[in-house]
Amino acid sequence: MIKPRTPPGVLELLPREQIAFQRMLDAIRGTFEAYGFLPVETPVFELTEVLLTKSGGETERQVYFVQSTGALEKSGAALPELALRFDLTVPLARYVAEHEHELAFPFRRYQMQRVYRGERAQRGRFREFYQCDIDVIGKDHLSIRFDAEIPAVINAAFEKLAIGEFTIQFNHRKLLRGYFEGQGIDGERQLLVLRELDKLDKRGEAAVAATLAGEGFDLDAEVVERLLAFARVRSTGHDDALARLDALGAGTPLFEQGRDELRQVLAQLKALGVPEHRYALNLSIARGLDYYTGIVYETLLDAHPEIGSICSGGRYDNLASYYSKSKLPGVGISIGLTRLFWQLREAGIVGAAESSVDVLVALLDDADLPEALALSQQLRAAGLKVETQLEPRKLAKQLQYADRAGIRFAVIRGEDEAARGVVAVKDLRRGEQFEVPRTGLADALREALA
Amino acid sequence: MIKPRTPPGVLELLPREQIAFQRMLDAIRGTFEAYGFLPVETPVFELTEVLLTKSGGETERQVYFVQSTGALEKSGAALPELALRFDLTVPLARYVAEHEHELAFPFRRYQMQRVYRGERAQRGRFREFYQCDIDVIGKDHLSIRFDAEIPAVINAAFEKLAIGEFTIQFNHRKLLRGYFEGQGIDGERQLLVLRELDKLDKRGEAAVAATLAGEGFDLDAEVVERLLAFARVRSTGHDDALARLDALGAGTPLFEQGRDELRQVLAQLKALGVPEHRYALNLSIARGLDYYTGIVYETLLDAHPEIGSICSGGRYDNLASYYSKSKLPGVGISIGLTRLFWQLREAGIVGAAESSVDVLVALLDDADLPEALALSQQLRAAGLKVETQLEPRKLAKQLQYADRAGIRFAVIRGEDEAARGVVAVKDLRRGEQFEVPRTGLADALREALA
């Protein structure tokens, strides 16, 4: 006898949790499709040669390699031929480059699949987790208007998920770097300063200020104070965001380009009707180091800032330089749904859902089976999700089962009800029981569920 | 520059094919849920020790092992710790055994995920493919009524998939073995004879007859003829199925048990309203060797028997004997959707679908962007899937794009239309254009799509 267990670092759910998770996936998929994104799925493994072109360092150390038994026996020093994807961005780059001549640009794709990273086993760290990504990829050129549409998608997705109020915060890498430029910080050092400001949340202002004034950076105290003041900028409301951009004063061309794009994004968010309490400038957001080149986004749950960003992304200059000579600029975001679900469950915000089954058709007597089956089929034809109790049990047991399983309605048809052409319906959510004419049952249940 | 390409043996789809595939997945999921099955997802990898408990031989040779870079460096002679699932049955066994005390029995689960097998690379053979499974698992006992519900689920699923007429064929392992018993063939040899009859389709009657009469089997010519005559039995229609069961004459208790269960299944299929041309007895169906112990099912497309069974399964005695002391009998089926999709595409039955995007909101002039955005949001609020043309192009280009992308409707609002408070709608499927008052647009489009 082998002890049945999952490997460490995976999140496996019981059915009612899986239903809750599936509803989140469906809500996200529905939003992505509402905004005209097209589905893509890629294989779980890529050729190692293709997957590891771009990465190096930390990522490569976390890659899982795949090989069949035959290959194991023959394996020498070379890396295995296949490796599991560690994100959805490298597969997207490969996909777009491979199918470049079959795709229409700007190419709007969504992808919701699991990715794999050999993380150190740790509570809340997953080796297998869902990413839900959208990206728009242009050919040669991609208008800032696509960057401005992204927060509207984030807003619609989290509104639909209904996990609490949230704020989409954004910044612009050119605004940041242009501001540094204006402070006399040159190209190389801009990235180093950016990396330090990115640590403000973790390290606090005093520690970051000390680093920036210290050896290596040697920035004047005044410059450091200006950088910190800049990074402290947060807007509250649409007009305030515009005013704060104005208040930054004149800057270098790079800075002005960033500011201009932020203004365009703000104008478009207003035209899209995104509620203004849902978006804000946050000039401390930097998001990593090399990949992003324009707008960067983070999304925070207002009541749970400790969870960190639940949806992040930004603009990048060239998606697939390792696979294609074409210039493919893009903008995208990612929701790490496995980690988010786990955190929401820890915080008591999500948990076991009501069942996906709407109705349990009870069975009191073997002789009633044909009628129970026919009734079940009628309800299914009306679009309801139905479990038929196939073996008679005491009614109390059947109701208890439905209740524990999270099935909202139980339909009961005893001799008495049959004689009167009605069925009894027990609403287990409300704890009520009512009678409906048999012919009106499907409509009554559909109405109650709507 | 690395050539962007997928590994051999995977099926990666372009977006419009992916949409067609996704619709098939959704149709199957919808049917499984309509019959009260609950979703389960398991990790792509299992502990090797857990996964390979049960298998051996062919399956083990096809297993893909997974290891991180660190493990690669340390790897000695031992098998890697993790392996990719090669079906959804072993993970189900592990899941049920692991969560036995948290699940309600009979446990009805569906699972639709990819599985992995290191097959020889060959056209139409996949190393990564979707399986869409349902199983009902009982504790100690599971009524035949669950076996009888399965063909109703198959019927509903393929009706919804609308890929052509089909027939669900079934047989019973006890009827087969009981019949062999009656012919004086004992327990051990029953499985060997069964294995030979299973080859009838491939080898033909003459070759199978020669084997059964030849060395090792040494069956009398009369017995061989009776076995072949038995395996030739096919029913056409409900009453014919019952008559053919009657016509088999009396048999051993095992045979009678099989026949009785088949009669119960037939009666229940009638009560469930499954059209009788959709199901038939086929006494040659054996399905593998050791796993199944009762009813076995196969499903054939009437116009494409060469595709083989598109949905198969059956009853088994004990799901998880390697992981649990409990007796867990079950019944289930599996649809290998990747292979099916590929075959249907080869046969010209499925292909690029209409887009998931319902409407392209065209943009003729930069100044109209706010109005185009507002209109798009209104349509989305009404449940439509909308892509907004964010940069103005010639109208002909926009319509050509929508047409190629398979987007059915384009919404156009030029100066003239704006002045009259209407929008022009181009129905690219029908090649028609019409006008609607702006306020009635969402309703008009929803109606046209319904």
User: B64, B81, B127, B445: best mutation site toward chain A, by most A Cβ within 10 Å?
Assistant: B64
Write out residues 281-310 of B within 8 Å (CB-CB) of A: none
Return the pLDDT at A317. 93
**Pick from A346, A378, A396: which residue ends a domain?**
A346
Is residue B209 situated within a structural domain?
A: yes
Percentage above 90 pLDDT, chain B: 86
CB contact under 8 A, B370 and A35: no
Considering only CB atoms, A18 lies closest to which of B6, B40, B49, namely B40
Is residue A403 situated within a structural domain?
A: yes
B9 and B125 both lie in a single domain:
yes
Return the pLDDT at A95. 98
Q: Is B3 on the interface with A (CB under 8 A)?
A: yes
At B171-205, the pLDDT tens digits run 999 999 999 999 999 888 898 898 899 899 889 99
Return the pLDDT at B286. 87
The CA distance from B192 to the nearest CA of chain A, in Å, is 29
A96 and A117 both lie in a single domain:
yes
Is residue B298 situated within a structural domain?
A: no
Nearest to B413 by CA among B446, B443, B389, B380: B389
Return the pLDDT at B185. 94
Return the pLDDT at B78. 72
Residue B361 CA to residue A257 CA, distance in Å, equals 29
A340 and A365 both lie in a single domain:
no
Find the CATH number of the domain harbouring A397: 3.40.50.800
What is chain B's mean pLDDT, rounded? Answer: 94
Q: Say how many domains are in chain B.
A: 3
Is residue B175 situated within a structural domain?
A: yes
Q: Is A63 on the interface with B (CB under 8 A)?
A: yes
pLDDT band at B79 (very low <50, low <70, confident <90, very high): confident
A409 and A379 both lie in a single domain:
yes
- Note the ipTM here: 0.95
Percentage above 70 pLDDT, chain B: 96
* B chain contacts of residue A36, beta-carbon cutoff 8 Å: 357, 360, 385-388
Is residue A10 situated within a structural domain?
A: no
A332 and A365 both lie in a single domain:
no
The CA distance from B134 to the nearest CA of chain A, in Å, is 14
Return the pLDDT at B69. 75
A254 and A373 both lie in a single domain:
no
Find the CATH number of the domain harbouring A127: 3.30.930.10
Return the pLDDT at B53. 81
At B291-309, the pLDDT tens digits run 899 999 999 999 999 999 9
Is residue B295 situated within a structural domain?
A: no
pLDDT band at B54 (very low <50, low <70, confident <90, very high): low
Return the pLDDT at B77. 56
B258 and B122 both lie in a single domain:
no
A82 and A113 both lie in a single domain:
yes
Q: 3-state SS of chain A?
A: CCCCCCCCCCCCCCHHHHHHHHHHHHHHHHHHHHCCCEECCCCCEEEHHHHCCCCCCHHHHCCEEEEEHHHHHHCCCCCCCEEECCCCHHHHHHHHHHCHHHCCCCEEEEEEEEEECCCCCCCCCCCEEEEEEEEEECECECCHHHHHHHHHHHHHHHHHHCCCCEEEEEEEHHHHHHHHHHCCCCHHHHHHHHHHHCCHHHHCHHHHHHHHHCCCCCCCHHHHHHHHHHHCCECCCHHHHHHHHHHCCCCCHHHHHHHHHHHHHHHHHHHCCCCHHHEEEECCCCCCCCCCCCEEEEEEECCCHHHCCCCEEEEECCCCCCCCCCCCCEEEEEECHHHHHHHHHHCCCCCCCCCCCCEEECCCCHHHHHHHHHHHHHHHHCCCCEEECCCCCCHHHHHHHHHHHCCCEEEECCHHHHHHCEEEEEECCCCEEEEEEHHHHHHHHHHHHC
Return the pLDDT at A115. 98
pLDDT band at B56 (very low <50, low <70, confident <90, very high): low
Return the pLDDT at B119. 84
**Pick from A316, A346, A376: which residue ends a domain?**
A346
* B chain contacts of residue A49, beta-carbon cutoff 8 Å: 2
Return the pLDDT at A119. 84
B99 and B25 both lie in a single domain:
yes
pLDDT at B147 over 70: yes
Return the pLDDT at A124. 87
Is residue A4 situated within a structural domain?
A: no
Is residue B232 situated within a structural domain?
A: yes
Q: Compute the average pLDDT of residues B257-272.
A: 98
B242 and B369 both lie in a single domain:
no
Q: Any idea which residue has 């859902």 for tokens?
A: A353
Q: Which residues of chain A have pLDDT under 50?
A: none
CB contact under 8 A, A40 and B114: no
**Pick from A346, A381, A400: which residue ends a domain?**
A346
A171 and A71 both lie in a single domain:
yes
Return the pLDDT at B86. 95
Q: Which of A2-16, B277-291, B317-331 comes out lowest in average pLDDT?
A: B277-291
A89 and A204 both lie in a single domain:
yes
Return the pLDDT at B312. 96
Q: Which domain holds residue A119?
A: 15-346
